[in-house]
Structure 1
């Protein structure tokens, strides 16, 4: 292991050196590239070296499947809360939401609120039950009293689809960030991120991923606190003055674009009200449901509850995570308005940022990084760029680990080997899956280069809310839920959410290039419809299932309920 790790680190060092050489020789005159920022690159390099050292340390401690998937169950509630926050405060949150606020103003807040309000659902309904029933993946919980082969097959499919959509967003953010920072071509930037991410997961497993997430969460919270403080300091710490200036700037931009004074004033004022992003009530409800319930169906977040010793620490970790995430989202809203007032009025930076205004939220994701440059100069710009990169690496590592565990633990160990797989072969399958996921992530990141990353993540949330959440919710809380109901209903939710997403304007028109108005599904998010299909499917096929197996599963609910509520029989850190 150590020799392989050393060889990989050497290869990565060579890759970084090649990147630096390419960056130094980049044609800065091209519009798509920026001058190389050596301060940022130094900080970026420092972070990569630190995290690779953590990976080496974690590799020495990763001896078993439990160590690889859940860090042996030895993470405290406070540490896990920071790691969950680190996992959740992704590139979509940091880069995508601030860009969405800069583009649409008030409407960007729907992301922040939606992402945040899912946490009470996890706190009161899921955290304790997950820890008491689960071992490595959410399929352990959903399939506790069901037939293993069908439920694991569904869980692995649901996990991999959600992970794929989520990975696209992170890779796009990473590619754009490194392109801005190093002056590299976009595709090269995506390949470098993919290579680093594979190293973290291949060698360090959950221990390395957790500590990368904790360090990144602390750096990100410190960075956004300073940014928000500096933005408000420009306006005498008055949010009202900040918003008034933002309206004034947007009005001036619209007037310069050829609008009449009345139309420009109306467009400028529109950033303080809804309607800029979500156009109708059904889209608003559907979008909100996706963000709220999708949180409770994200496999890489649910997996974090198996890294703590017991249910008490699981509850504590949700409390800490909610605290940090809530604080973070308030600051992101301020930074988004700071981008309107400070970046769009800066002649050097406005051309990069104005693409957001002209092209909607899909053309630039770098608003927060540009705010850092205006309030803290090149040094702080370098720090925030390194933090944004750390954000992406930490989230991508967590996502890849959840995808790898779905294949190796749910499909290989439980379905194919019927629970008789040895640790070595299970870990080998997990590592092969990690490499495959890394390659897929790089390819998808290149294809979806022009998409707004907050929006791409919202699609992952819609799929999680339609497929994973209904199955998890009803299998744990409804005694009449059966294997047939959970699998058929879960797949109905999964297929309908993916299908409606593909024929919605966001993919059908924006990504696939079909003519405007040709989308078969008119709304931005499918969750309201696909989530209903998932729940109704589970209910209907469970009620209709009168087989002897279904009767056994209903009878087993009482024992499952005792364990989920009390933790009796649940494995502690030692039993993991």
Structure 2
């Protein structure tokens, strides 16, 4: 038997465990669902504590990129793979220090509430919704690609049609979570998933270290032996040190990772599920601790996979780099542990895509339908109905996108989503909260320039064409050399937002500006009805 693949009876066990998990969580979603108003559906009525929301935040944030992509990147590329973890973790300091409390106080359901608070609402909400949908789509297809790679490994599915079917099933289950449970049901799925994920990586780390007599040096020596890069995996440069171009690519990716979290719509939306700003801060602190512990475990898991499985066996397996953690689990604990890890990985994907879909559908229903199209003259039932229809459309589109990018490293794909978030949203959020002169023209210039430049550079970069690992490897129309455009598109957004502010003729509404200042600092006037 090929050591990288599972026996057929193991595949049945893994499938059974996954089906049981889905059924249990669907029952939890159904029991937790409470959707009498749009506040219940979009923000769970602000009913979660800081600890609960912090666990859910980590569950929403620790995606398939973290569990599968980063572990695989460390196993194959070593230290350069761990750089993803550093960027993902450091990014939370911006949320803690600048974003969480003020966003919670100013907004109601979506990021559009914050940015449009003192601007002309219709064009700004439309722009925010466009950026939210774009970021969500890029993030979603990364999770769908992770689902395809994981099941390809578990069931030994090599055909494109088989993996496409798997991605479709994941998308359908995700739609059920969102349609049935809304934010409250989705939050409980994320809490369950985060708890299981942390326990799983902790157990794998303990069992793995036990294999080497709890001697980390021994583990690292074996990792170097089973990696063609040898001891170079312990220092920077295996992936990003080959040339000046790859070094610029690393800087660009790092900017996107560190700055992108503060602009992720599904992360910002979670701050509305707590009753006050104090709980928003507490939830961020809880999330930081959980995420830090998780990434320390993935460092051991990544090098452990290189030591026990070998980087060449990992890259040759169905799913490529993304198969490192499941293959390591199989080597450590056999079929049962692999089944548990695989179920947790699926739970990770399902919980994250459910949160993303809910955020995108909320943005369209609340920002575009209720406020831009109906000018606020609508009722909760119709808004929730539009959100559900939007969730179905988004689910269908993300399934197609996931099939298209299946096989790409999902940590890299999520890095692109972070670049879109930092480029389109970060400048306008910070300017709205901290710059009194900022106006509607600056908002529109900032969002559309960041979103447009990021999209253009990705389309004409090696991500899409011109390289052996491109989505379209047989054609070449790339003119932008970097795989992550953050180093260019993020400054463009800040610069255009500032220029647009001075070009625009409108002056800020002093009354709304004063109200926003008071509300963002004190929470006075906040309503969750």
**Same fold by TM (over 0.5)?**
yes
Long gaps (5+) in structure 1: 1-27, 255-266
Report the alpha carbon displacement of residue 32 of structure 1 after superposing the two structures with TM.
Answer: 9.3
Report if the CA contact (8 A) 2:146-2:410 is conserved: yes
What are the Cα deviations for residues 368-409 of structure 1, in whole angstroms up to 9, with x where unaligned?
011111111111111111000000000000000001011101
Counterpart CA distance in 2 for 1:552 and 1:44 is 53
Counterpart CA distance in 2 for 1:212 and 1:385 is 16
Report the alpha carbon displacement of residue 181 of structure 1 after superposing the two structures with TM.
Answer: 2.5
Report if the CA contact (8 A) 2:118-2:509 is conserved: yes
Counterpart CA distance in 2 for 1:155 and 1:73 is 22
Counterpart CA distance in 2 for 1:134 and 1:243 is 47
Report if the CA contact (8 A) 1:563-1:569 is conserved: yes
What are the Cα deviations for residues 222-252 of structure 1, in whole angstroms up to 9, with x where unaligned?
00001111122222223222222111222xx
Task: Say which SS state the counterpart of residue 463 (structure 2) adopts.
Answer: helix
Counterpart CA distance in 2 for 1:198 and 1:33 is 30
Aligned positions of 1:344-493 closer than 5 A: 344=310, 351=313, 353-355=314-316, 363-493=320-450
Alignment-derived partner of residue 17 in structure 1: none
Report the alpha carbon displacement of residue 175 of structure 1 after superposing the two structures with TM.
Answer: 1.6
Instruction: Provide runs of 4+ in structure 1 moved above 3 Å.
Output: 31-34, 552-556
Which of residues 57, 75, 94 is equivalent to 2:67?
A: 94
2:513 counterpart of 1:531: no
Counterpart CA distance in 1 for 2:320 and 2:211 is 27
Report if the CA contact (8 A) 2:366-2:383 is conserved: yes
Alignment-derived partner of residue 517 in structure 2: 561
Which of residues 189, 211, 216 is equivalent to 2:166?
A: 189
Report if the CA contact (8 A) 1:364-1:452 is conserved: yes
Report the alpha carbon displacement of residue 552 of structure 1 after superposing the two structures with TM.
Answer: 3.5
Aligned positions of 1:227-246 closer than 5 A: 227-246=204-223
Which of residues 287, 297, 303 is equivalent to 2:269?
A: 303
Task: Say which SS state the counterpart of residue 223 (structure 1) adopts.
Answer: helix
Report if the CA contact (8 A) 1:448-1:511 is conserved: yes
- Count of paired positions: 516
Alignment-derived partner of residue 512 in structure 1: 472
**Taking structure 2 as the reference length, what is the TM-score of the superposition?**
0.94
Report the alpha carbon displacement of residue 415 of structure 1 after superposing the two structures with TM.
Answer: 0.3
Alignment-derived partner of residue 264 in structure 1: none
Task: Say which SS state the counterpart of residue 556 (structure 1) adopts.
Answer: helix
Report if the CA contact (8 A) 2:40-2:183 is conserved: yes
Which of residues 540, 543, 556 is equivalent to 2:502?
A: 543
Alignment-derived partner of residue 296 in structure 2: 330
Aligned positions of 1:197-276 closer than 5 A: 197-250=174-227, 254=228, 267-276=229-238
What are the Cα deviations for residues 37-64 of structure 1, in whole angstroms up to 9, with x where unaligned?
23222221221111110122133x2211
Report the alpha carbon displacement of residue 555 of structure 1 after superposing the two structures with TM.
Answer: 5.8
2:238 counterpart of 1:283: no
Deviates more, 1:413-422 or 1:233-242: 233-242
Task: Say which SS state the counterpart of residue 321 (structure 1) adopts.
Answer: helix
Q: Which has the larger radius of gyration?
A: 1
Counterpart CA distance in 1 for 2:237 and 2:475 is 23
Report if the CA contact (8 A) 2:143-2:349 is conserved: yes
Alignment-derived partner of residue 15 in structure 2: 41
Task: Say which SS state the counterpart of residue 408 (structure 2) adopts.
Answer: coil
Report if the CA contact (8 A) 1:40-1:386 is conserved: yes
Aligned positions of 1:135-154 closer than 5 A: 135-154=108-127
Task: Say which SS state the counterpart of residue 189 (structure 1) adopts.
Answer: helix
What are the Cα deviations for residues 331-367 of structure 1, in whole angstroms up to 9, with x where unaligned?
111101111001129xxxx74x1427xx9xx833111
**Taking structure 1 as the reference length, what is the TM-score of the superposition?**
0.86
Report the alpha carbon displacement of residue 329 of structure 1 after superposing the two structures with TM.
Answer: 0.6
Counterpart CA distance in 2 for 1:423 and 1:192 is 30
Deviates more, 1:237-246 or 1:332-341: 237-246
Change (3 A) 1:219 1:235: same
Counterpart CA distance in 1 for 2:330 and 2:60 is 25
Counterpart CA distance in 1 for 2:378 and 2:150 is 41
Report the alpha carbon displacement of residue 515 of structure 1 after superposing the two structures with TM.
Answer: 5.7
Long gaps (5+) in structure 2: none
Deviates more, 1:289-298 or 1:554-563: 554-563
Report the alpha carbon displacement of residue 65 of structure 1 after superposing the two structures with TM.
Answer: 0.5
Counterpart CA distance in 2 for 1:209 and 1:34 is 34
Alignment-derived partner of residue 552 in structure 1: 508
